[in-house]
Structure 1
Amino acid sequence: MCAALKLLLFSAVILQLSAQGFNNYRSLPEDYRMHIDKALLSANKKFGGPRHVAFEKVLFTPSFTKDRLYVNVRLFVTTCKKDHQKGFGHRDECVKQQPKTPWINCLVCTRGNGELIDCAKQAEVDSRKTIRDECSVYHHGSGTALSQKTGTEKEETFGCIGCV
Protein backbone atom coordinates (compact mmCIF):
# COMPACT_ATOMS: atom_id res chain seq x y z
CA MET A 1 0.00 0.00 0.00
CA CYS A 2 2.80 2.39 0.87
CA ALA A 3 4.55 1.82 -2.48
CA ALA A 4 1.28 2.36 -4.37
CA LEU A 5 0.70 5.63 -2.51
CA LYS A 6 4.23 6.83 -3.28
CA LEU A 7 3.80 5.92 -6.95
CA LEU A 8 0.50 7.79 -7.08
CA LEU A 9 2.05 10.86 -5.45
CA PHE A 10 5.06 10.75 -7.76
CA SER A 11 2.75 10.46 -10.79
CA ALA A 12 0.76 13.48 -9.60
CA VAL A 13 3.94 15.55 -9.26
CA ILE A 14 5.12 14.54 -12.74
CA LEU A 15 1.72 15.36 -14.21
CA GLN A 16 1.68 18.75 -12.51
CA LEU A 17 5.20 19.55 -13.67
CA SER A 18 4.53 18.48 -17.23
CA ALA A 19 1.52 20.78 -17.29
CA GLN A 20 3.44 23.82 -16.03
CA GLY A 21 6.79 23.07 -17.64
CA PHE A 22 10.27 22.76 -16.24
CA ASN A 23 11.46 26.33 -16.67
CA ASN A 24 10.65 27.79 -13.24
CA TYR A 25 13.33 26.80 -10.75
CA ARG A 26 11.27 27.63 -7.65
CA SER A 27 8.32 25.48 -8.75
CA LEU A 28 10.47 22.34 -9.17
CA PRO A 29 10.41 19.68 -6.45
CA GLU A 30 13.26 19.73 -3.94
CA ASP A 31 14.67 16.46 -5.38
CA TYR A 32 15.10 18.12 -8.78
CA ARG A 33 16.58 21.33 -7.37
CA MET A 34 19.12 19.40 -5.30
CA HIS A 35 20.60 17.86 -8.46
CA ILE A 36 20.25 21.03 -10.53
CA ASP A 37 22.27 22.82 -7.83
CA LYS A 38 25.09 20.31 -8.44
CA ALA A 39 25.02 21.27 -12.12
CA LEU A 40 25.00 24.97 -11.21
CA LEU A 41 28.02 24.53 -8.94
CA SER A 42 29.96 22.68 -11.64
CA ALA A 43 29.02 25.18 -14.37
CA ASN A 44 29.86 28.18 -12.18
CA LYS A 45 33.34 26.80 -11.57
CA LYS A 46 33.92 25.91 -15.22
CA PHE A 47 32.20 28.61 -17.29
CA GLY A 48 31.17 31.64 -15.30
CA GLY A 49 34.46 33.43 -14.89
CA PRO A 50 33.53 36.50 -12.83
CA ARG A 51 29.81 36.08 -13.74
CA HIS A 52 27.14 33.95 -12.11
CA VAL A 53 25.68 30.98 -14.02
CA ALA A 54 21.90 30.55 -13.62
CA PHE A 55 19.22 27.97 -14.39
CA GLU A 56 17.24 28.40 -17.61
CA LYS A 57 15.19 25.18 -17.95
CA VAL A 58 15.09 21.40 -17.72
CA LEU A 59 15.63 20.01 -21.22
CA PHE A 60 14.04 16.57 -20.92
CA THR A 61 11.69 15.02 -18.41
CA PRO A 62 13.92 13.99 -15.49
CA SER A 63 14.07 10.36 -14.42
CA PHE A 64 14.14 9.54 -10.72
CA THR A 65 13.86 5.97 -9.50
CA LYS A 66 15.33 4.06 -6.58
CA ASP A 67 18.51 3.23 -8.52
CA ARG A 68 18.48 5.76 -11.36
CA LEU A 69 18.81 9.52 -11.71
CA TYR A 70 18.85 11.54 -14.94
CA VAL A 71 18.49 15.33 -15.11
CA ASN A 72 19.51 17.40 -18.15
CA VAL A 73 19.37 21.19 -17.75
CA ARG A 74 20.25 24.27 -19.75
CA LEU A 75 22.05 27.08 -17.94
CA PHE A 76 23.41 30.46 -18.96
CA VAL A 77 26.01 33.00 -17.86
CA THR A 78 24.25 36.03 -16.38
CA THR A 79 25.11 39.70 -16.08
CA CYS A 80 25.36 39.27 -12.28
CA LYS A 81 28.76 39.06 -10.66
CA LYS A 82 29.56 36.00 -8.59
CA ASP A 83 28.81 36.41 -4.92
CA HIS A 84 30.36 33.66 -2.81
CA GLN A 85 28.20 34.67 0.16
CA LYS A 86 25.03 33.94 -1.86
CA GLY A 87 26.46 30.68 -3.15
CA PHE A 88 26.36 29.09 -6.59
CA GLY A 89 22.73 27.99 -6.57
CA HIS A 90 19.98 29.63 -8.60
CA ARG A 91 19.50 33.32 -7.87
CA ASP A 92 16.15 34.83 -8.83
CA GLU A 93 17.65 38.28 -9.36
CA CYS A 94 20.04 36.94 -12.03
CA VAL A 95 17.82 36.37 -15.04
CA LYS A 96 19.53 38.38 -17.80
CA GLN A 97 22.00 36.52 -20.01
CA GLN A 98 25.46 37.99 -20.51
CA PRO A 99 25.68 39.03 -24.19
CA LYS A 100 27.43 36.68 -26.63
CA THR A 101 27.77 33.81 -24.16
CA PRO A 102 26.76 30.29 -25.20
CA TRP A 103 24.12 28.16 -23.51
CA ILE A 104 25.49 25.58 -21.11
CA ASN A 105 24.12 22.03 -21.14
CA CYS A 106 24.58 20.06 -17.91
CA LEU A 107 23.75 16.44 -17.29
CA VAL A 108 23.52 14.96 -13.80
CA CYS A 109 23.01 11.20 -13.70
CA THR A 110 23.91 7.98 -11.98
CA ARG A 111 26.00 5.41 -13.76
CA GLY A 112 27.79 2.22 -12.83
CA ASN A 113 30.48 3.79 -10.67
CA GLY A 114 28.61 6.69 -9.08
CA GLU A 115 27.26 10.05 -10.13
CA LEU A 116 28.25 11.96 -13.26
CA ILE A 117 28.01 15.73 -13.57
CA ASP A 118 28.94 16.79 -17.09
CA CYS A 119 28.64 20.41 -18.21
CA ALA A 120 29.56 21.63 -21.69
CA LYS A 121 28.73 24.46 -24.04
CA GLN A 122 25.57 23.54 -25.94
CA ALA A 123 27.47 23.47 -29.26
CA GLU A 124 29.97 20.94 -27.83
CA VAL A 125 27.47 18.44 -26.42
CA ASP A 126 27.66 16.14 -29.47
CA SER A 127 31.42 15.75 -28.99
CA ARG A 128 30.76 14.49 -25.43
CA LYS A 129 28.45 11.71 -26.60
CA THR A 130 30.69 8.88 -25.36
CA ILE A 131 30.72 10.31 -21.83
CA ARG A 132 27.00 11.06 -21.78
CA ASP A 133 26.01 7.70 -23.26
CA GLU A 134 27.02 6.12 -19.96
CA CYS A 135 23.85 7.70 -18.56
CA SER A 136 21.57 6.91 -21.46
CA VAL A 137 18.11 5.63 -20.61
CA TYR A 138 18.07 3.58 -23.80
CA HIS A 139 20.89 1.33 -24.91
CA HIS A 140 20.34 1.02 -28.64
CA GLY A 141 21.44 -2.31 -30.04
CA SER A 142 21.98 -3.93 -26.67
CA GLY A 143 20.31 -7.18 -25.77
CA THR A 144 17.27 -7.55 -23.59
CA ALA A 145 16.97 -9.78 -20.56
CA LEU A 146 15.16 -12.36 -22.70
CA SER A 147 17.98 -12.56 -25.24
CA GLN A 148 20.84 -13.02 -22.80
CA LYS A 149 22.55 -16.40 -22.46
CA THR A 150 22.83 -17.84 -18.99
CA GLY A 151 25.60 -20.30 -19.79
CA THR A 152 23.40 -23.35 -19.23
CA GLU A 153 22.41 -23.73 -22.88
CA LYS A 154 24.14 -26.40 -24.95
CA GLU A 155 26.07 -24.65 -27.70
CA GLU A 156 25.15 -25.99 -31.12
CA THR A 157 27.68 -25.87 -33.92
CA PHE A 158 27.02 -25.99 -37.61
CA GLY A 159 29.35 -27.01 -40.41
CA CYS A 160 28.34 -24.16 -42.62
CA ILE A 161 25.68 -21.46 -42.36
CA GLY A 162 24.20 -22.25 -45.78
CA CYS A 163 23.93 -25.98 -44.99
CA VAL A 164 21.31 -25.66 -42.27
Structure 2
Amino acid sequence: MSAVLKLLLLAAVTLLVSAQGWNNYQSLPDLYRTHIDKALYNANRKFGGPYHVAYESLLPNLKIKDDVYVNVRLMVTTCRKDEQKGFGHRKECVTKKPKTPWIDCVVCKPKNGEELIDCVRQMDAENSAAIRKKCSGYFTGGESIMFQKGENDEPRIGCPGCV
Protein backbone atom coordinates (compact mmCIF):
# COMPACT_ATOMS: atom_id res chain seq x y z
CA MET A 1 0.00 0.00 0.00
CA SER A 2 1.47 3.35 -0.98
CA ALA A 3 2.34 5.94 1.65
CA VAL A 4 -0.21 8.39 0.26
CA LEU A 5 -3.02 5.84 0.54
CA LYS A 6 -1.98 5.00 4.12
CA LEU A 7 -1.95 8.70 4.99
CA LEU A 8 -5.43 9.21 3.50
CA LEU A 9 -6.75 6.19 5.40
CA LEU A 10 -5.26 7.48 8.66
CA ALA A 11 -6.77 10.92 8.09
CA ALA A 12 -10.21 9.43 7.36
CA VAL A 13 -10.14 7.30 10.53
CA THR A 14 -9.02 10.29 12.60
CA LEU A 15 -11.86 12.43 11.25
CA LEU A 16 -14.39 9.68 11.85
CA VAL A 17 -13.31 9.19 15.48
CA SER A 18 -13.17 12.93 16.21
CA ALA A 19 -16.58 13.49 14.59
CA GLN A 20 -18.17 10.84 16.78
CA GLY A 21 -17.07 12.63 19.94
CA TRP A 22 -18.66 11.92 23.31
CA ASN A 23 -22.20 12.89 22.31
CA ASN A 24 -23.42 9.35 21.71
CA TYR A 25 -24.19 7.52 24.96
CA GLN A 26 -24.22 4.11 23.26
CA SER A 27 -20.65 4.54 21.96
CA LEU A 28 -19.18 5.32 25.39
CA PRO A 29 -17.15 2.63 27.18
CA ASP A 30 -19.02 0.75 29.93
CA LEU A 31 -16.75 2.25 32.59
CA TYR A 32 -17.86 5.78 31.63
CA ARG A 33 -21.52 4.79 31.41
CA THR A 34 -21.40 3.37 34.95
CA HIS A 35 -20.58 6.83 36.33
CA ILE A 36 -22.90 8.65 33.93
CA ASP A 37 -25.77 6.39 35.04
CA LYS A 38 -25.18 7.51 38.63
CA ALA A 39 -25.46 11.14 37.50
CA LEU A 40 -28.61 10.31 35.51
CA TYR A 41 -30.23 8.66 38.52
CA ASN A 42 -29.41 11.67 40.73
CA ALA A 43 -30.60 14.21 38.15
CA ASN A 44 -33.82 12.33 37.36
CA ARG A 45 -34.74 12.38 41.05
CA LYS A 46 -33.87 16.08 41.41
CA PHE A 47 -34.83 17.71 38.10
CA GLY A 48 -37.31 17.51 35.27
CA GLY A 49 -40.50 17.05 37.26
CA PRO A 50 -42.52 14.55 35.24
CA TYR A 51 -39.97 14.62 32.36
CA HIS A 52 -37.06 12.25 31.83
CA VAL A 53 -33.49 13.55 32.12
CA ALA A 54 -31.08 12.07 29.56
CA TYR A 55 -27.38 12.18 28.64
CA GLU A 56 -26.23 14.96 26.33
CA SER A 57 -22.41 15.01 26.42
CA LEU A 58 -19.27 14.66 28.48
CA LEU A 59 -17.56 17.85 29.58
CA PRO A 60 -13.76 18.34 29.70
CA ASN A 61 -11.33 16.98 32.30
CA LEU A 62 -12.61 13.40 32.31
CA LYS A 63 -10.46 11.20 34.54
CA ILE A 64 -11.08 7.53 35.25
CA LYS A 65 -8.06 5.80 36.73
CA ASP A 66 -6.96 5.91 40.36
CA ASP A 67 -9.23 8.91 40.93
CA VAL A 68 -12.61 9.28 39.28
CA TYR A 69 -13.78 12.59 37.84
CA VAL A 70 -16.63 12.64 35.33
CA ASN A 71 -18.34 15.90 34.42
CA VAL A 72 -21.42 15.32 32.28
CA ARG A 73 -24.06 17.56 30.75
CA LEU A 74 -27.62 16.26 30.89
CA MET A 75 -30.89 17.58 29.50
CA VAL A 76 -34.55 17.47 30.43
CA THR A 77 -36.25 15.71 27.51
CA THR A 78 -39.74 15.78 26.04
CA CYS A 79 -40.29 12.17 27.23
CA ARG A 80 -42.29 11.47 30.36
CA LYS A 81 -40.60 9.64 33.22
CA ASP A 82 -41.36 5.93 33.22
CA GLU A 83 -40.31 4.02 36.33
CA GLN A 84 -40.52 0.73 34.42
CA LYS A 85 -37.86 1.98 31.99
CA GLY A 86 -35.71 3.34 34.84
CA PHE A 87 -33.66 6.48 35.19
CA GLY A 88 -30.83 5.52 32.83
CA HIS A 89 -30.32 7.00 29.39
CA ARG A 90 -33.16 6.13 27.01
CA LYS A 91 -32.15 6.22 23.36
CA GLU A 92 -35.68 7.21 22.31
CA CYS A 93 -35.44 10.35 24.49
CA VAL A 94 -32.98 12.63 22.74
CA THR A 95 -35.03 15.80 22.23
CA LYS A 96 -34.41 18.58 24.75
CA LYS A 97 -37.52 20.09 26.30
CA PRO A 98 -37.66 23.76 25.25
CA LYS A 99 -36.76 26.45 27.79
CA THR A 100 -35.25 24.04 30.30
CA PRO A 101 -31.69 24.57 31.53
CA TRP A 102 -28.88 22.12 30.93
CA ILE A 103 -27.92 20.05 33.96
CA ASP A 104 -24.27 19.86 34.97
CA CYS A 105 -23.32 16.76 36.99
CA VAL A 106 -20.02 15.77 38.53
CA VAL A 107 -19.33 12.23 39.71
CA CYS A 108 -16.03 11.92 41.52
CA LYS A 109 -14.12 10.17 44.23
CA PRO A 110 -12.54 12.72 46.60
CA LYS A 111 -9.38 11.93 48.52
CA ASN A 112 -11.46 10.55 51.43
CA GLY A 113 -12.64 7.74 49.11
CA GLU A 114 -16.38 8.42 49.33
CA GLU A 115 -18.16 8.96 46.03
CA LEU A 116 -19.57 12.43 45.41
CA ILE A 117 -22.40 13.09 42.96
CA ASP A 118 -23.33 16.74 42.47
CA CYS A 119 -25.99 17.74 39.92
CA VAL A 120 -27.04 21.37 39.44
CA ARG A 121 -28.50 23.50 36.69
CA GLN A 122 -25.59 24.48 34.46
CA MET A 123 -26.10 28.17 35.24
CA ASP A 124 -25.67 27.34 38.96
CA ALA A 125 -22.52 25.22 38.58
CA GLU A 126 -20.32 28.11 39.69
CA ASN A 127 -22.24 28.28 42.99
CA SER A 128 -21.50 24.59 43.51
CA ALA A 129 -17.72 25.10 43.32
CA ALA A 130 -17.24 24.62 47.08
CA ILE A 131 -18.74 21.14 46.88
CA ARG A 132 -16.89 20.25 43.69
CA LYS A 133 -13.52 21.34 45.06
CA LYS A 134 -13.66 18.23 47.24
CA CYS A 135 -13.05 16.27 44.02
CA SER A 136 -9.35 15.71 43.53
CA GLY A 137 -9.84 16.12 39.77
CA TYR A 138 -11.79 19.39 39.98
CA PHE A 139 -10.30 22.13 37.83
CA THR A 140 -11.18 25.77 38.30
CA GLY A 141 -10.29 26.67 34.72
CA GLY A 142 -7.20 27.09 32.61
CA GLU A 143 -6.38 23.39 32.71
CA SER A 144 -6.45 21.19 29.70
CA ILE A 145 -5.48 17.68 28.83
CA MET A 146 -2.46 19.14 27.04
CA PHE A 147 -0.86 20.19 30.32
CA GLN A 148 -1.54 18.39 33.56
CA LYS A 149 0.41 17.79 36.73
CA GLY A 150 1.78 14.32 37.27
CA GLU A 151 1.87 12.30 40.47
CA ASN A 152 4.97 14.12 41.77
CA ASP A 153 3.69 17.56 40.62
CA GLU A 154 5.92 17.48 37.57
CA PRO A 155 4.26 18.82 34.40
CA ARG A 156 3.05 16.05 32.12
CA ILE A 157 2.40 16.72 28.45
CA GLY A 158 -0.54 14.79 27.04
CA CYS A 159 -2.40 14.64 23.79
CA PRO A 160 -6.10 15.04 22.98
CA GLY A 161 -6.27 11.50 21.62
CA CYS A 162 -4.93 9.99 24.86
CA VAL A 163 -8.20 10.18 26.80
TM-score by length of 2: 0.72
Post-superposition CA distance 1:35-77 (Å, at most 9, x none):
0000000000000210000000001142111x30010000010
Matching residue of 1:6: none
Q: Output the amino acid matched with 1:87.
A: G
Q: Alignment RMSD, CA only?
A: 2.4
- Which is greater in Rg? 1
**2-structure distance, mates of 1:61, 1:135:** 12
Matching residue of 1:7: none
User: CA separation of 1:22/1:37 partners in 2, compared to 1, >3 Å: closer, same or farther?
Assistant: same
Q: CA deviation at 1:138?
A: 6.4
Matching residue of 1:75: 74
Matching residue of 1:92: 91
Paired residue secondary structure (2:115): strand
Asked whether 1:123 is paired with 2:109, we answer: no
Structure 2, unaligned runs of 5 or more: 1-13, 141-150, 154-163
* Preserved contact between residue 110 and residue 136 of structure 2 (Cα < 8 Å): no
Q: CA deviation at 1:139?
A: 7.7
Q: For this pair of structures, how many residues does the alignment match?
A: 128
Matching residue of 1:55: 55
Post-superposition CA distance 1:94-117 (Å, at most 9, x none):
011111100000000001331000
Asked whether 1:26 is paired with 2:26, we answer: yes
**2-structure distance, mates of 1:145, 1:109:** 21
Q: After alignment, is 129-138 or 36-45 more displaced?
A: 129-138
**2-structure distance, mates of 1:80, 1:137:** 33
Paired residue secondary structure (2:130): helix
**1-structure distance, mates of 2:139, 2:94:** 37
Q: Output the amino acid matched with 2:116.
A: L
Q: Output the amino acid matched with 2:95.
A: K
Paired residue secondary structure (1:23): coil
Q: Output the amino acid matched with 1:112.
A: K
TM-score by length of 1: 0.71
Which has more helix, going by share of residues? 1
Structure 1, unaligned runs of 5 or more: 1-14, 147-164
Matched-pair identity in % = 57
Matching residue of 2:159: none
Matching residue of 1:40: 40
Matching residue of 2:158: none
**2-structure distance, mates of 1:145, 1:71:** 23
